[in-house]
């Protein structure tokens, strides 16, 4: 029997309020990015996180910070060492990255994109603070749309085909079953082939069966799935499997980064347990 997959993913959007609130709490975002709903969800999750940290050495916020700061570091590298001057952050939610990078690199073109309701909310937020201009824009996109106004081709239509580009998705991949997300990566690699140099940065949570807390992790991802009224499948059993999947989707070079190996440069504690998250840098 073929697995049934959801045809839309609007159920994921509320989770952006939680992560947005985490960025704010850790001084990565200005107060405008924190919402009352995000604060409320954070309050509900706090006892669970506290128990997981004390009982099992697992801290959700550590894993969120690991992915966020390592993606930031790889983005800085792409800008400073490979001359990237355009960034597209898909599934941007309430991420403050566009705001922070535009402050640091005023010459950067930064396009944020999300499903229409979140895109409208983000545009209103940034515009209300006077942070939008012709270099920092927000558009709507649906990574599941194969054509039409919400598709990747429509999102990329007005980008400069002569300049290096970075595309980011954060907090998106594990909400989708593997065939759906690999189909998105294949379409993305095809669109990126038009640029002289393109880097895709994302994070994912692999199926680390050898992790000492695997049973608790399975319980945790089941809970995330139920809270977001979808699922939270873990993809790939090893870093080699991840790299192989990205290559099959059309990326020529793939690095799979373990944030724990970069703790010192990211200014993060080492953590009692092996990290659950990997950051992927895939280039065309
Ligand atoms: C967990 S949030 C992550 C937000 C942000 N990247 C962060 O790390 O804080 C997931 C985001 O994915 C967006 N999303 C869900 N389905 C999507 C789709 N089909 N196309 C584009 N974005 C989508 C949601 O609206 C939401 O903003």
pLDDT 10s digits, 148-204: 999 999 999 999 999 999 999 999 999 999 999 999 999 999 999 999 999 999 999
Q: Is residue 4 part of a domain?
A: no
The rounded radius of gyration (Å) of the Cα atoms in the chain is 18
Q: For residue range 246-281, list pLDDT tens digits in order.
A: 999 999 999 999 999 999 999 988 777 889 999 999
Q: How far apart are CA 218 and CA 207, in angstroms?
A: 9
Q: Is residue 1 part of a domain?
A: no
Least confident of 1-5, 15-19, 165-169, 273-277: 1-5
How confident is the prediction for the chain on average, in pLDDT?
93
Q: In what order do the strands lie in the sheet with 278-283?
A: 136-140, 109-114, 86-90, 165-169, 198-204, 278-283, 253-257
Q: Is residue 107 part of a domain?
A: yes
Tell whether ligand 1 has an atom less than 6 A from the beta carbon of residue 13.
Answer: yes
pLDDT of amino acid 220: 83
Share of the chain above pLDDT 90, in %: 77
Q: For residue range 68-92, list pLDDT tens digits in order.
A: 999 999 999 999 999 999 999 999 9
pLDDT of amino acid 9: 79
**Number of domains comprising the chain:** 1
Query: Pocket of ligand 1, candidates 42, 114, 202: which has the most ligand atoms within 8 Å of its Cβ, to mutate?
Result: 114
Strand partners, 12: none
Q: Is residue 2 part of a domain?
A: no
Tell whether ligand 1 has an atom less than 6 A from the beta carbon of residue 15.
Answer: yes
Q: Is residue 69 part of a domain?
A: yes
Region 39-45: what's the mean pLDDT? Answer: 94
Least confident of 11-20, 117-126, 214-223: 214-223
**Residue 166: closest CA among 282, 70, 26:** 282
pLDDT of amino acid 83: 96
CA of 114 to the centre of ligand 1 (A): 6
CATH number at residue 268: 3.40.50.150
Residue whose CA is at the smallest distance from ligand 1 atom 16:
9
Which residue, chain included where needed, has tokens 């703790």?
263
Tell whether ligand 1 has an atom less than 6 A from the beta carbon of residue 228.
Answer: no
Query: Pocket of ligand 1, candidates 122, 171, 230: which has the most ligand atoms within 8 Å of its Cβ, to mutate?
Result: 171
pLDDT of amino acid 54: 85
Judge whether residue 4 has pLDDT over 70: no
Tell whether ligand 1 has an atom less than 6 A from the beta carbon of residue 92.
Answer: yes
Q: Is residue 249 part of a domain?
A: yes
The answer to whether 172 and 244 have CB atoms below 8 angstroms apart is: no
Q: Which domain holds residue 272?
A: 10-283
Q: Is residue 67 part of a domain?
A: yes
Q: Is residue 163 part of a domain?
A: yes
Region 38-62: what's the mean pLDDT? Answer: 90
CA of 171 to the centre of ligand 1 (A): 6
Judge whether residue 104 has pLDDT over 70: yes
Judge whether residue 2 has pLDDT over 60: no
pLDDT of amino acid 79: 98
């Amino acid at each position: 029997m073929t697995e049934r997959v959801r045809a839309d993913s609007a159920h994921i959007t509320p989770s952006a309020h939680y992560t947005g609130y985490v960025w704010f709490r850790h001084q990565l975002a200005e107060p405008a990015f924190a919402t009352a709903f995000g604060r409320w969800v954070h309050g509900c999750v706090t006892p669970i996180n506290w128990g997981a940290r004390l009982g099992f050495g697992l801290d959700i916020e550590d894993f969120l910070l690991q992915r966020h700061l390592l993606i930031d570091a790889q983005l800085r590298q792409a800008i400073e060492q490979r001359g990237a001057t355009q960034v597209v952050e898909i599934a941007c939610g309430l991420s403050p990255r566009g705001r922070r990078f535009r402050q640091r690199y005023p010459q950067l073109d930064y396009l944020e994109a999300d499903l229409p309701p979140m895109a409208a909310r983000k545009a209103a937020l940034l515009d209300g603070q006077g942070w939008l201009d012709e270099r920092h824009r927000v558009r709507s996109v649906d990574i599941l749309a194969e054509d039409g106004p919400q598709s990747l081709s429509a999102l990329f239509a007005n980008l400069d085909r002569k300049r290096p580009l970075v595309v980011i998705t954060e907090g998106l991949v594990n909400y989708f079953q593997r065939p759906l997300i690999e189909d998105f990566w294949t379409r993305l690699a095809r669109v990126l082939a038009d640029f002289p140099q393109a880097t895709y940065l994302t994070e994912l949570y692999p199926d680390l069966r050898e992790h000492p807390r695997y049973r608790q992790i399975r319980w945790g991802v089941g809970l995330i799935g139920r809270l977001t009224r979808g699922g939270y499948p873990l993809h790939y059993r090893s870093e080699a499997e991840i790299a192989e999947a990205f290559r099959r989707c059309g990326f020529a070079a793939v690095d799979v980064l373990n944030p724990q190996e970069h703790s010192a440069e990211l200014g993060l504690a080492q953590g009692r347990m092996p990290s659950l998250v990997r950051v992927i840098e895939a280039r065309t």
